[in-house]
Amino acid sequence: MEYKFCVFIDKPLRVDIYLSTLFKDFSRSYIQKIIDNWQVYINSKIVSKNLKIKSKDEIKLEIKLEKLKDIKAENIKLDIIFEDENLLIINKNAHLNVHPVPWKNGKTWTLVNAILYHCKNKLPSINWVERPWIVHRLDKETSWIILIAKTDFMMKYLSWIIKQRNISKYYLAVVNWIIKDKKFKIESYIWRDSKDRLKMTTISSINPKIAITYWEVLNYIDKKYTFVKVKIETWRTHQIRVHLASIWYPIIWDSTYWIKKVNEEVNKKYWLKRQALHAYKLEFELYWQQREFKAELKEDIKKIVGGKLMC
């Protein structure tokens, strides 16, 4: 990647200070590093980091994108919903980590490994490292529809519509007990549990933030469970799981927010090995048209709801 431009400043300034001010994504140490690596030219000459530039000088930067270190491309099958030159939308399986993790074997068999293989080096740069830009950071045990930007243009566009809340997310879940109200809304404050940093809570949370969730009952299962559609207005960590558990309708087999004995009963009956939560639909504007993308229910949850498809 090459940048070439002229300088317009009132008084001479060190080149590393000027560039780190101009490029907010660059730290000053990074600027000094690329100068030392002979990637910066002033008036077609290689420079030192303490050189002072003046108005009308011509600067050329040669930025060499790095690869994700120690993360190898792996031929992992992807359930692709949509793909073009800018965007990849997939239906992620449960039990698959999205990002590599630092512990043993954590840098293999992840969604990032699969995307690196599938996209063949055609990915955007983030902090000057070539990598897939994955919109969502949901739980490993959740199956879901996921957006991956393949270009800088799409990465910036998706960031913007998310910031403006111009994207709608819908989920399907199976919860314990019978919910009699066909439609309802939960609005509460939610954030980190002061007693357990790995959990979120609606009670005594640290720096709480508002969370809004809408629910609609779709069907009842075995006179004991409820199949629901969920729409979230805010995107808080574990929002759906915490909100349902807070009103005593937890998602079945939620190992973090519910009772182990109840989970064992579900496991024995349905052979379910993860929480029954599936992110199934996204709605947003793409290429100046309102679009809707759906991800088919995975077989383990489909078996519980009697093969019923998405609404």
pLDDT per residue as tens digits for the range 95-139 = 878 776 655 566 788 888 888 888 876 776 554 455 666 766 666
122 lies in the same domain as 157: yes
Q: Of 134, 163, 192, at which residue does a domain stop?
A: 163
Higher pLDDT, 90 or 199: 90
Domain final position from 138, 163, 188: 163
Q: Are residues 46 and 95 in the same domain?
A: no
Q: Does any domain span residue 112?
A: yes
Domain containing 260 — which CATH number? 3.30.2350.10
What's the chain's average pLDDT?
83
Neighbouring residues of 71: CB distance < 8 A, sequence distance ≥ 6: 100, 107, 112, 113, 116
231 vs 234: CA distance, rounded Å: 9
pLDDT, greater one: 23 or 104: 23
The string of DSSP codes covering 22-79 is: H-TTS-HHHHHHHHHTT-EEETTEE--TTPEE-TT-EEEEE--PEEPTT---------
**59 and 121 assigned to the same domain:** no
Residues 294 and 174 in one domain: yes
Residues 190 and 156 grouped into a single domain: no
The number of distinct structural domains making up the chain is 3
Indicate if 97 and 23 belong to the same structural domain: no
pLDDT for the residue 89: 94
- 205 & 273 share domain: yes
Q: What is the pLDDT of residue 29?
A: 76
Segments forming the whole domain that contains residue 42: 2-64
Q: Is 171 in the same domain as 231?
A: yes
Q: pLDDT tens-digit profile of 30-62?
A: 788 888 888 889 998 888 878 899 888 999 887
Q: What is the pLDDT of residue 205?
A: 61
Is 117 found in the same domain as 176?
Answer: no
Examine residue 311 and state whether it is found in any structural domain, yes or no: no
What are the residue numbers of the active site? 139
Last residue of a domain, one of 163, 193, 213: 163
Q: How far apart are CA 281 and CA 310, in angstroms?
A: 9
Residue 156 in domain: yes
